[in-house]
Chains A and B, each alone.
Chain A
Amino acid sequence: MPTLQFRLNGAAIAVDADPDQMLLDVLRSRLGIAGAHFGCGAGECGACHVMVDGRAMASCDMPMWSVADKDVVTLEGLGTAAQPHPLQRAFISEQAMQCGYCVSGILISAAALLKRNPSPTEAEVRAALDRNLCRCGSHNRMVRAVLRAASEMAAS
């Protein structure tokens, strides 16, 4: 099996993998990542979103060959309890979830949005999250949390 190199949460990674294997499988089964979730396997729900070169993308149908030499960020790479990303703080403050299974992908989509648009409107936040499904109905709290994080980041 060929060795594929990419950056994962800031660290250089070399992994022996079938180039056609999906990134999500490798992240979860080989690299100890729990912050990208399987939801559908078809790129339709967003639970598995990771940032690839700054863009939020589904990892469940992304073959390994396509991430070679790219920069991949999962929820683990956003922040930690000791050093949280403003989005993580805001999701706690707004209690922005019910079950929270979709949240890992939603935080990634939101982080990618704030990278390219640091002060989005509510409609822009919603549009950016349209590829992420939430079944519990926590959408409005999540939108509030993203806007809160954006204003916090603008103020700092």
Chain B
Amino acid sequence: MSSPAPKLPVSLVANPRLSSWVKFSGEGRVAISPGKVEIGQGIVTALAQIAADELDVDISRIEMIRASTATSPNEGVTSGSLSIQQSGRALRQVCAEVRQRFLFAASERLGVDAALLDVDDGTISGPGNVSTSYWELAGDVSLDHDATAGAAAKSAARRAVAGHSVQRVDIPDKVFAQPRFIHDQALPGLLHGRVLRPDISGAKLIALDEAAARAVPGLVAIARDGGFAGVVADSETAAEAALKALRKGATWSAGEPLPDEDDLAGFLKSQPVESTVIDTRTATTRVHARTLRRQYTRPYIAHASIAPSCAMAQWDGDRVHVWTHSQGVYLLRADLATVLKLPAENIVVEHMEGAGCYGHNAADDVALDAVLLAKAAGGRPVRVQWSRHDEMSHAPFGAAMAIEIEADLDADNEIVGWRHAIWSNGHAARPGRAVQPALLAATEIANPYPRMISTNPPAANGGGGDRNSVPLYDFPTWTITSHRLLTMPVRTSALRTLGGQGNVFAIESLLDEIAALRGEDPVGFRLRHLRDERARDVIRAAARRAQWKPQKQAGIGHGVGFARYKNTGAYCAAIAEIEGADDIRVKRLTLAVDVGEAINPDGVINQIEGGAIQATSWVLKERVRFDRTRITTTSWTDYPILTFSEVPAVDVAIIQRPEIEPVGAGEAAHGPVTAAIANAVFDCLGVRVRDLPITRDKIIAAMELAS
């Protein structure tokens, strides 16, 4: 009987060469070169832990190399909570094979059987006090070989670093003001650029009087390419002044109307759509006594990163070097190549850290802006930083959603049928994935490309608008349908969880309502409908930790929410405790999470905590607003987020499962927390708010509807 051929992790299939991942350099250093990038989630530390463990070197010897199309493996995009799954597995395999190759070489040099050799912090030693090291052998051991899946990684029990909380490698720089962000980089001869963008949505530049801008001291060039216009100056102040002058000389077309923001569901349901049946489950139909029909909505949500997007670019003849905080250097390069009509080899795209990234924001857009402006800079590098206003109005948003669920109930109010339908724009219009570029300036240049209408990733990748729409509960029948809009007056793309937050909010809200109808405890109701033990464990753990369910107290409410992210990723249960008087205040969130093997448990807790707080902000406060011509939430005053005084206590328990392949944690909390808060609002006030965000106005509206 032959065992099946060992399977390489997906990132290794695409990038099998060992030397593209690991290099030993003099002075006892190890360079690890992943294709995934740091976006504020601590991924480089977790990957360093995995490498340190498999190679048996101290983590302080490891230097994590920033991704670049010049040198790094191509791991696509850093998104979808997949970095640990993809890059982590690849690195674990690579390092195990590298270690094995060095052991064989050491065995030859030392004349000792490889099985008797041991590695301790890079020193390879054996019986009789013989020893060598990775660095001594580096000249003899070629890593220009493809991974074979021939070496087995360590078992969970033998890992000393992965599975333990270690301090993040990037944090000291950030507390000691060392320039680490792209925003802080000072290249020699750096110039500064700004791009002219309309306030009116979809307006095109039809005429431009440049005279006033030309008179601004410090101006280096005005760049024009069709409707794309911008300035290059010798300082940021001069660039801002020149842009201000240029704006006064601009004439814009009328633009394209925006929908009625007070009737998002009406808008979403009236557009041409592409409809897909995502999943069906059939069974002998049981008689139903009645049908509950509920509609849930969520608004457009802004990324609202604390730093505006920034990039630098420098031309050398027909070659260009780009510095970016994009989530995918190769994907950005592909789009740049299309727009510039250059072979990809002429473009190097190098990653640098930006502020926290929660999906497809303006990082890629500003990179093309910098490339186009740098054309006018005579070979000098140009740095472009968006304004807060542009960041809040021109970057893609998370898509608004309308979700309708019909639940058929029998005479005992047990669920016998379930129909879930979603109306939403697509949740992804990322660069590098389609024949046309996804970058903003590509729609503005002469011979412009049309604005890419967002699509949804396939169900196998977790879906988009339909993400988390298929219930994990054992309802006897269901039909899940996704209606993707074919128009896109408001630009949307990937924001944390894609459709997951909306769908989990809808499912978990209705479950809560049905449990209440039955007079059944909502935790017990969920447990009764779940077969997956890991799912049941996180719900029980969260309930236990929150001491579910305390005596009812006036003005206090408790609610529960659960999901397994993408139905294939991390399990997460959340319990919210809220205080409801005039406004809703979330006092405490208790979460339990199962990511399989938690490589850096404190890193996982940090991600879950952060996700829970961000979700609370979305639920209580956030809504991109617009009138019929323009986005109107263009500052922090217009688009408030949760403040320190409003942030709830967050308590996170990890169910550590070292033997199970790790999955990411960055998006697991949003759906469960959203639902837990909504359900706590009902527990507290007796009304169901089905239209996010849950503000005072929405509560009053829901009360009026209920009475």
Query: Which residues of A are interface residues toward B (Cβ below 8 A)?
Result: 18, 21, 25, 28-29, 32-35, 37-42, 44-45, 47, 74-76, 79-81, 84, 88, 91-92, 95, 97-104, 107, 123, 125-127, 129-130, 132-143
Contacts and interface: CB of A to CB of B under 8 A. Distances in A.
A130 B644 contact: yes
A100 B174 contact: yes
Nearest to B177: A35
Contacts of B179: 34
B520 interface: no
Contacts of A132: 644
27 contacts: A25-B237, A33-B177, A37-B307, A41-B388, A74-B177, A75-B175, A84-B175, A92-B167, A92-B171, A95-B167, A97-B174, A98-B41, A98-B42, A100-B175, A101-B40, A101-B356, A102-B355, A125-B644, A126-B645, A133-B306, A133-B636, A135-B641, A137-B609, A137-B614, A138-B610, A139-B644, A140-B650
Contact of A101 (B237, B355, B602, B612): B355
Contacts of A98: 40-42, 356, 606-607, 610
A136 B610 contact: yes
Given A42-B388, A81-B172, A137-B609, A99 B644 contact: no
Given A42-B635, A101-B356, A140 B175 contact: no
Contacts of B637: 42, 44
Contacts of A137: 609-614, 617, 647
Contacts of A33: 177
Interface string B644-685: 110101100000000000000000000000000000000000
A103 B181 CA distance: 12
Contacts of B172: 81, 92
B40 A39 contact: no
Given A80-B176, A129-B644, A135 B167 contact: no
B602 to A, nearest CB: 6
Most chain B CB inside 10 Å of its own CB: which residue of A33, A88, A99, A138 = A99
Contacts of B643: 130, 133
A44 B614 contact: no
B236 A104 contact: no
**Taking each of B181, B637, B642, B644, which has the highest tally of chain A beta carbons within 10 Å of its own beta carbon?**
B644
B39 interface: yes
Contacts of A29: 235-237
Given A137-B609, A140-B609, A41 B306 contact: no
Contacts of A138: 606, 609-610
B609 A101 contact: no
Interface of B: 39-42, 167-168, 170-172, 174-181, 183-184, 186, 235-237, 304-308, 353-358, 385, 387-388, 602, 606-607, 609-614, 617, 635-637, 641-645, 647, 649-650
Given A29-B236, A35-B177, A137-B617, 5 more contacts: A76-B177, A80-B176, A92-B171, A100-B171, A127-B645
Contact of B184 (A34, A79, A102): A34
A37 B635 contact: no
Contacts of B183: 37-38, 101
Given A47-B307, A98-B42, A100-B171, A136 B635 contact: no
Contacts of A44: 635-637
Given A41-B388, A42-B635, A91-B175, A100 B170 contact: yes
Given A98-B42, A129-B644, A38 B385 contact: yes
Contacts of B356: 98-99, 101, 135-136
User: Which residue, of A45, A123, A137, has the highest number of chain B Cβ atoms within 10 A?
Assistant: A137
Given A99-B40, A103-B174, A138-B606, A130 B645 contact: yes
Contacts of B602: 95
A45 B306 contact: yes
Contacts of B353: 99
Contact of B181 (A37, A95, A125, A130): A37
Contacts of A123: 645
Given A37-B307, A45-B636, A81 B235 contact: no
Nearest to B176: A81
Contacts of B178: 34
A136 B184 contact: no
B697 to A, nearest CB: 23
A92 B306 CA distance: 21
Given A39-B307, A45-B306, A101-B307, A88 B175 contact: yes
B240 to A, nearest CB: 9
